[in-house]
Amino acid sequence: MSRHLAARVAALVVPAVLLTVPAAHAEKVVTEDAVGDVVSYAELPDGSSQLLPAPDQAGVDIVRTAVDHGNRRLRITVRFRALERDPFHFTVVRVVTPKGNFDLAVERLGGKPIASLEKGRASVDCRGLKAKVDLGSDTVTTSVATSCLGAPRWVQVGVGAVAAAEDPSSPEMIAAFADDGHRDGTIRESTIKKGPRIHRG
C-alpha cells in the first residue's frame, strides 16, 4: 500500500474509530447536579409537609455522581459540596435492573459507614458490598458485586442524600434536609430520579 493510499484510508477509518469509542465505554456515566439545591423537609401540624430551599446545607448537597458498571462490580461515587466529619447522614441509591429494583444505603452516624442492600423489602446478603467515605474529596463511594444484583446487562441509577440537624431557630426541633442527584431543587418522597441505562462494560 502506498503512503498516499494509507493516508486516505486513515482519514476514513480514524473518525469512525473515534465515533465508536464512547459506545465502547458507555459503562461509565457522570452526572453533574446543581450546587445549593438542598431542600428542608418539615411536617406541619395539619399533617401536610413543607419543602423549603436550604442552600447552606453543604453536607447533603450532591454535586456530582459517577456510576461505573463493570463486568464484576457496580461502583457509585457521590461527591458532595462539603461532607461533615460527624453527621447523621444517609446516601441512598436506587438501582433498576431488568430483573428488579435494588436499594443501596450508606449510613453515616459518626463512626464507620454502614452499607446495606435490599430488594423490595427484603435484605440481600452480599459479601461484595462495600462503602467508603473520603472527607478529603467529599465523596461517598458504594461498590457492589454485580452477582448480588443478578449480573444485569444494564442498570439505571438514582442517587439521593438525607441528613438531620438541629433547627437553629428551634433548637428542640430536628430538621431534615435532602437532595436528589438528578433533580434541581426538588425531591419526591417516593421516587428518586434515575439516570440513563448503563450497560455492563
pLDDT in the model for residue 189: 64
C-alpha dihedral sign at 86, 88, 93, 99: positive
CATH code assigned to 26-199: 2.60.40
Confidence band, pLDDT 50/70/90 cuts, at residue 24:
very low
Count how many Cα atoms sit within 13 Å of the Cα of residue 166 in the half-sphere of its side chain.
Answer: 5
- What is this structure's pTM? 0.81
H helix runs in the chain, sequence order: 3-24
> Residue 179 contacts by C-beta under 8 Å, 6 or more apart in sequence?
33, 37, 38, 39, 60, 61, 62, 160, 161, 187
The yes-or-no verdict on residue 169 having pLDDT over 70 is: no
Check: CB of residue 35 under 8 Å from CB of residue 153: no
C-alpha dihedral sign at 119, 125, 94, 179: positive
